[in-house]
Amino acid sequence: MQKRKPIFPNIIEVNHQLGHVLGCNVYLIYDGDEWVMIDIGYEEVVDEIIEMIRDLDFPFAKCKSLIATHADVDHIQGLSKAKQILRTSVSAHPLAAEPLRTGDRIKTFALIEAQGIDMQMPPVEVETLINEGDKIDVGSLELEVWLTPGHTDSQLSFRLGKYLFSGDNIYRDGCIGAIDAHHGSDLVAFGRSLTRIRESDVEWLLPSHGPIFRKDNVLIDSAIKRLEGYLHMADFGTCAIDWPMMDQFEEEIAAGKMPDDGQNAPRESQKAE
């Protein structure tokens, strides 16, 4: 029997519990015998996580649900297998339910041919649709559901008192979840989600990747400012709202402006005219 190593009261993070990194952060929230799990990671780590749950003496029958923060393969590929073993339900945002049900390899990032990524995405049914303002009871505890889109259209965060399971919104180094139109990234929404987190009175952010850290408003402000810049950059393609340089280019063409290489200054005869 393993000794439980909660990172905070009633919260176990799988990588910390096991003492090595399996992949994304997987959180087990419990009160008494009841428990839920936020994300599960890749299918290949499910057996080790299930064995850990057994060794920590959490009854399989008391798992209320497996919760998906969003439908990216590195968070949810193992859901189908874990659900079958635990005989429990899956909870996710409505916009995550369809790619989970169909095993959509494009939207979940399981298939990215240009980068040689080709993984299976076992389909899984979502029994419980959760959205902004919903509550998830775990014993006497209550998880408050926040819809925090930006990284994906279905990105959820979960508040438990002063702790926020913040998904892929922001990490300790100031990085944010990948921006890609294929899975519903939205730069404007991302900024609103980060602003909401910054303005909240939560004290700790428990992200889906990397170290847990105290909420740092300076760090979040820096990320928001960077996102605001992305809104006007061609780098972010259809996620950007405009490209000011092209507006300037049109104005320059209309004005007859030529490239300034030092040879396009008006000639003396032109000046006289």
Look at the chain and count its residues.
273
Distance CA 47, CA 85 (A): 9
Query: Measured in whole angstroms, how far is the alpha carbon of residue 207 from the centre of its chain?
Result: 8
Residue 105 has pLDDT above 80, yes or no: yes
Q: What percent of the chain has pLDDT over 90?
A: 86
Tokens read off for 115: 């980068």
For the stretch 160-217, pLDDT in tens is: 999 999 999 999 999 999 998 877 899 999 999 999 999 999 999 999 999 999 999 9
* Contact yes or no for 104/70 (Cβ under 8 A): no
Distance CA 231, CA 29 (A): 37
Q: Write down the pLDDT at residue 264.
A: 53
Q: What's the predicted TM-score (pTM) here? A: 0.91
Distance CA 220, CA 58 (A): 36
For the stretch 78-104, pLDDT in tens is: 999 999 999 999 999 999 999 999 999
Mean pLDDT estimate for the chain = 94
Q: Tell the CATH superfamily of the 11-109+127-239 domain.
A: Ribonuclease Z/Hydroxyacylglutathione hydrolase-like (3.60.15.10)
Distance CA 189, CA 151 (A): 9
Distance CA 111, CA 154 (A): 19
Distance CA 257, CA 120 (A): 54
Question: Confidence band (pLDDT; 50, 70, 90) for 265?
Answer: low
DSSP the chain: -PPP--SBTTEEEHHHHHTS--SS--EEEEETTEEEEE----GGGHHHHHHHHHHTT--GGGEEEEE-SS--HHHHTTHHHHHHHHT--EEE-HHHHHHHHHT-TTTTTSEEGGGTEE---------EE--TT-EEEETTEEEEEEE--SSSTT-EEEEETTEEEEETS--TTS------GGGT--HHHHHHHHHHHHHS---EEEESSS--EE--HHHHHHHHHHHHHHTT-GGGGGGSS--HHHHHHHHHHHTTPPP-SSS-SPPHHHHH-
For the stretch 208-225, pLDDT in tens is: 999 999 999 999 999 999
Backbone phi, psi, residue 153, to 5°? -75, -15
